Amino acid sequence: MIKNVHGNTVDHLGQAIVAGRFGAAGSLPPEPLLCEELGVSRTVVREAVKSLVAKGLIQTGPKVGTRVLPAEQWNWFDPDVIAWQAHAGLTPEFLRDLQDLRLIVEPAAIRLAAQRATARDFEALEAAYAGMHRAVFEGGDYVTHDLQFHLGLLRASRNRMLVQMIRALGALLRTSFEISTRRKDGSRSSLPLHRAVLDAVQARQPDAAEAAIRRLIDGAGQDIEQVLSSRRRLPRLSEPPRRLKAA
Q: In three state form, how does the secondary structure of the chain look? A: CCCCHHHHHHHHHHHHHHCCCCCCCCECCCHHHHHHHHCCCHHHHHHHHHHHHHCCCEEEECCCEEEECCHHHCCCCCHHHHHHHHHHCCCHHHHHHHHHHHHHHHHHHHHHHHHHCCHHHHHHHHHHHHHHHHHHHHCEEHHHHHHHHHHHHHHHCCCHHHHHCHHHHHHHHHHHHHHHHCCCCHHHHHHHHHHHHHHHHHCCCHHHHHHHHHHHHHHHHHHHHHHHHHCCCCCCCCCCCCEECCC
- For residue 94, the model assigns a pLDDT of 83
Contact 152/125 with Cβ under 8 angstroms? yes
Stretch(es) of the chain classified as CATH 1.20.120.530: 79-244
- What integer best gives the mean pLDDT of the chain? 88
- Pairing type for strands 65-68 and 140-141 reads unpaired
d(CA 156, CA 171): 19
Residue 2 has pLDDT above 50, yes or no: no
Q: What would the pLDDT profile of 187-200 be if each residue is shown by its tens digit? A: 888 999 999 999 99
Angstrom CA distances, 207 to 62, 85, 107, 162, stand at 55, 35, 9, 19
Of 101, 124, 242, 128, which Cα lies nearest the Cα of 194? Answer: 128
pLDDT number for residue 134: 96
- pLDDT tens digits, residue range 110-159? 999 999 999 999 999 999 999 999 999 999 999 899 999 999 999 999 99
Q: Domain 5-73 falls in which CATH fold? A: Arc Repressor Mutant, subunit A (1.10.10)
Per-residue pLDDT tens for 81-113? 988 887 787 788 888 888 898 899 999 999 999
Residues of the chain with CATH 1.10.10.10: 5-73
Q: Which CATH code is given to the segment(s) 79-244?
A: 1.20.120.530
| 53 against 171, higher pLDDT | 53
